[in-house]
A = this chain, B = another copy of it.
Amino acid sequence: MTYLQHVNPRVRGIRVSAHSKLQSLAAHITQQIRTGAQKPFKAVLDVSSGDPQKTGMKPISFVRQVLAVCLYPQLLKDNSLPLDVRLRAQRLLEICDGQSVGSYSATCGLLHVRKSISEFIMRRDVGVPSYTEDIFISSGSQRALTAIIKLLDKGEEGKTQTGVLTPVPSPHHLPIVLDELGVTPAPYQLIEDRGWTVDLEELHRALTAARRRCEPRAVYISNPGNPTGHVQDRKSIEEVIRFASAERLLLLVDEVEQDSIYGHSREFISYKKVLFEMGKQYSDTVELVSFHSLSNACMGECGQRAGYMEVVNMDPEVMLFTDTVLCADISTPVIGQLALDLMVDPPKPGDPSWDSYTQEIHLIRTTLSQNAQRAQQFFNSLPEMSCQSVMGGIYLYPRLSLPSEITEQAKVLEVEADVLYCRRLLEEEGVLIGAGGTTDSYHLRFCILVPPHTLEEVLARLNSFHLRLWADIRTLTEV
Question: What is the bound-complex CA distance between A399 and B78, given in angstroms?
Answer: 50
Copies in the complex: 2
| A77 CB, min distance to chain B CBs, angstroms | 10
- Cβ contacts A to B, 20 pairs, < 8 Å: A1-B313, A6-B217, A8-B153, A11-B321, A11-B324, A14-B324, A51-B104, A53-B97, A53-B98, A53-B100, A57-B98, A59-B102, A68-B71, A101-B304, A102-B301, A102-B302, A176-B327, A303-B335, A304-B335, A305-B330
Total interface residues in chain A, CB < 8 Å? 86
Query: A287 contacts which chain B residues (CB < 8 A)?
Result: 1-2
| Cβ contact within 8 Å between B103 and A53 | yes
Residue of B nearest to A105 (CB): B303
Q: Answer yes or no: A64 CB below 8 A from chain B CBs.
A: yes
| Cβ contact within 8 Å between A318 and B154 | no
Q: Answer yes or no: A385 CB below 8 A from chain B CBs.
A: no
Interface residue ranges of A30-70 to B (CB < 8 Å): 49, 51-57, 59, 61, 64-65, 67-69
Partner of A139, one of B56, B139, B248: B139
Query: A180 contacts which chain B residues (CB < 8 A)?
Result: 325, 328
Q: Answer yes or no: A331 CB below 8 A from chain B CBs.
A: yes
Query: A325 contacts which chain B residues (CB < 8 A)?
Result: 11, 14, 180
Interface residue ranges of A231-269 to B (CB < 8 Å): 248, 250
Residue of B nearest to A49 (CB): B104
**Chain A: residues with CB nearer than 8 A to chain B?**
1-4, 6-12, 14, 16, 20, 27, 49, 51-57, 59, 61, 64-65, 67-69, 71-72, 75, 78, 96-98, 100-106, 139-140, 142-143, 150-155, 176-177, 179-180, 217, 248, 250, 285, 287, 300-305, 313-315, 317-318, 321, 324-325, 327-328, 330-336
Question: What is the bound-complex CA distance between A285 and B3, given in angstroms?
Answer: 12
Partner of A303, one of B61, B69, B103, B302: B103
| A85 CB, min distance to chain B CBs, angstroms | 10
- Given contacts A6-B217, A302-B103, A324-B14, whether A333 and B335 have CB atoms under 8 Å apart is yes
Query: A10 contacts which chain B residues (CB < 8 A)?
Result: 155
| A339 CB, min distance to chain B CBs, angstroms | 9
| Cβ contact within 8 Å between A103 and B151 | no
Question: What is the bound-complex CA distance between A151 and B6, given in angstroms?
Answer: 8
